[in-house]
Amino acid sequence: MTGSDTSRVAIVTGGSGGIGRAVAEHLGGRRFDVVVHYSGNRDRAEETATAIGEAGGRAVTARADVADETEVAALFERARTAFGGVDVVVHTAGVMPLAPIADMRLDDFDRVQRTNVRGTFVVNQAAARVVRAGGSIVNFSTSVTRLQQPTYGAYAASKGAVEALTLILARELRGRDVTVNAVAPGPTATPLFLDGKPQEVIDHLSSLAPLERLGTPDDIARSVLGLVDARWINGQVVYVNGGIA
């Protein structure tokens, strides 16, 4: 499979479900050729690729540990061999184990930092080397960096690092015509977010925004598309949370 000279190509990490799947499908609907990355759930990644194909787009899947530079290099090579290059990288992949700082196991803390911080660094490093002029890199932070909710210490710390990497990379790519931004979702109805939360907690979180609901993967995906299209938004963290903070 080879892209045409006019194809625009996107890699979406974490594209097998939740926000990543919504982003991949929206990009496919915009006639991007999409590489749907997954780390463990091949079947769900294939479902995403199939959905893009059924809607008239083109997609392939690729597995990688985002914190492993050799596997990430192979992911980007998959985009090149399948479609001819890379124009957009949307890095949604991440993990979110929760516990009070006093109680969190250090191996869980290390896993969060490895996936969320090192993973962002490795993916962004590869993207910085190959994304074509007119392209975009979109990372994922979280509104918890502002909300400071208990039990989110390790996760928020990792996303603070993601924001720093995003803002610095935008400036390092001066002259390349490549934008680098981050979106920072608020409470969003994904399996990762909803897992283990009792209904009263979900109801409370739904009430925080003036719009009085949780965000949806579609809400977040539309914000990503806006950053891909907006060539004069660069080096920014965009809070996508319905007005919580």
Q: For the segment 174-199, what is each residue's pLDDT rounded down to a tens digit? A: 999 999 999 999 989 887 777 778 88
**Domain contains 206:** no
Residue 83, in any domain of the structure: yes
CATH number at residue 115: 3.40.50.720
Q: What angle do CA 10, 28, 240 make, to 5 degrees?
A: 75
pTM: 0.94
Total of domains in the chain: 1
Dump the DSSP string for 164-216.
HHHHHHHHHTTTS--EEEEEEE-SB-SHHHHTT--HHHHHHHHHHSTT-S-B-
pLDDT digits (tens, 9 = 90+) for 12-39: 999 998 999 999 999 999 999 999 999 9
pLDDT in tens, 116-130: 999 999 999 999 999
Q: Is residue 225 part of a domain?
A: yes
Neighbours of 181 (CB within 10 A): 25
Q: Is residue 76 part of a domain?
A: yes
Q: Is the pLDDT of residue 233 over 90?
A: yes
Cα 105 from Cα 113, distance rounded (Å): 13
Residue 19 lies in a domain: yes
Average pLDDT, the chain: 94
Q: Which amino acid is at 200?
A: E
Q: Could you tell me if residue 201 is inside a domain?
A: no
Q: Which residues are catalytic?
A: 155
Instruction: Look up the domain containing 30 and give its range.
Output: 8-188+216-239
